[in-house]
Amino acid sequence: MSPRITFIGAGAWGTALAMAAARNAPQAEVCLHARDAAQAQAMNAARENARYLPGLPWPQGLQAISGSLAERVALSTPEDLWVVATPMSGLREALQALRGSSAPVAWLCKGFEATTGLMAHEVQAQVAPELVAGALSGPSFAQEVAQDLPTALVAASVHAQVRDALVRVFHGHHLRVYANDDIVGVEVGGAVKNVLAIATGLCDGLGLGLNARAALITRGLAEMTRLGVALGARAETFMGLSGLGDLVLTATGDLSRNRKVGGLLAQGLSLQQAVESLGHVAEGVYSARTVVARAKSLGVDMPIAQAVVELLDGRLQARQAVQVLMGRDPRGEGL
């Protein structure tokens, strides 16, 4: 029986990686699970996800499904793979549906759960601790992965079975997957970079120049590392794909939704107007407060992230946020 790779969530990123899996593992049965049966039928008929990735045809072997996942979960084997491709807000529900699966599970979402402040692996430990699970993360835009452009990702888990499964399914000619057992570091990097990208978009939107952008990215990386180390991560993880790599991409790439939010706020739009104009989820908007709250509980100083929260909450205007950051007392450069 062919291994089954099932993606839960038919957004842009889930679709793009399902396309990559179908290209890299043609012997597998690759399915993209959508909540809406009509959406699944439309995607199968068009052989593309017209809503999120229009004009990018699906490779042979990828199909969309809908309905209950209970039967697939009951029949899963250790050779199968589940990939949760929902936003962070949908992770808990997806993991509950996967309880009892014998197949490894990976999630793609990046952030802290808004209601609890938990990272994804902490949510999994609370909801379905029996699952063998981890994260697939790193600097990646869905559109470029769907176009089969060169990309490097990191498979993070304390379980070798999960890391090996992700490398086996996704590693190919145009997609490199590196393994890492520091899931705390990988998840902190994936969460904090979205918040920092809002700050960088604000910087660019205000026309503050490339010097300011470089300063924000560099000091933002220091903030990210401080928080990660306090949570138990290894400092060197933040010099890798899920730290520096994802931060640079999200803070500078024109396809970054979080960067766009910062740019729109710089233009004078309200937060609601900025988010509505995107049509997609910008995780940094939802995780910024939980990032700062988690940092404060640990005594970790994150002035850039704090300024983003005050901007999102309307306590600071765009230029005031810059003044607050530039007006801080001098200090040494270390973490």
Active-site positions? 193
| Cross-strand bridge partners of residue 156 | 135, 180
CB neighbour class for 50 (10 Å; exposed up to 12, middle 13-18, buried from 19)? middle
The dihedral through the CA atoms of 324, 328, 334, 335 has a sign that is negative
Rounded CA separation 295/226 (Å): 9
Annotate 56-85 with DSSP letters as a single string: -PPPTTEEEE-S--HHHHHT--TT-EEEE-
E-only strand ranges, the chain: 4-8, 29-33, 62-65, 81-84, 105-107, 133-137, 151-156, 175-180
Closest by CA to 227, choosing from 289, 156, 298, is 298
Q: Angle at Cα 141 formed by Cα 254 and Cα 301, nearest 5°?
A: 75
**Placement of tokens 């992230």 in the chain:** 305
What residues form DSSP beta bridges with 32?
A: 7, 64
Q: Which residues are CB-contacts of 89 (< 8 A; sequence separation ≥ 6)?
A: 113, 114, 286
Phi and psi at residue 270, in whole multiples of 5°? -75, 165
- Cβ contact 148:174 at 8 Å: yes
Please provide the size of the chain in residues.
335
Partners of 112 in beta bridges: 119
Q: 204-242 as b/e, with b when 16 or more CB fall inside 10 Å?
A: bbbebeeebbebbbebbbbbbbbbbbebebbeebbebbb
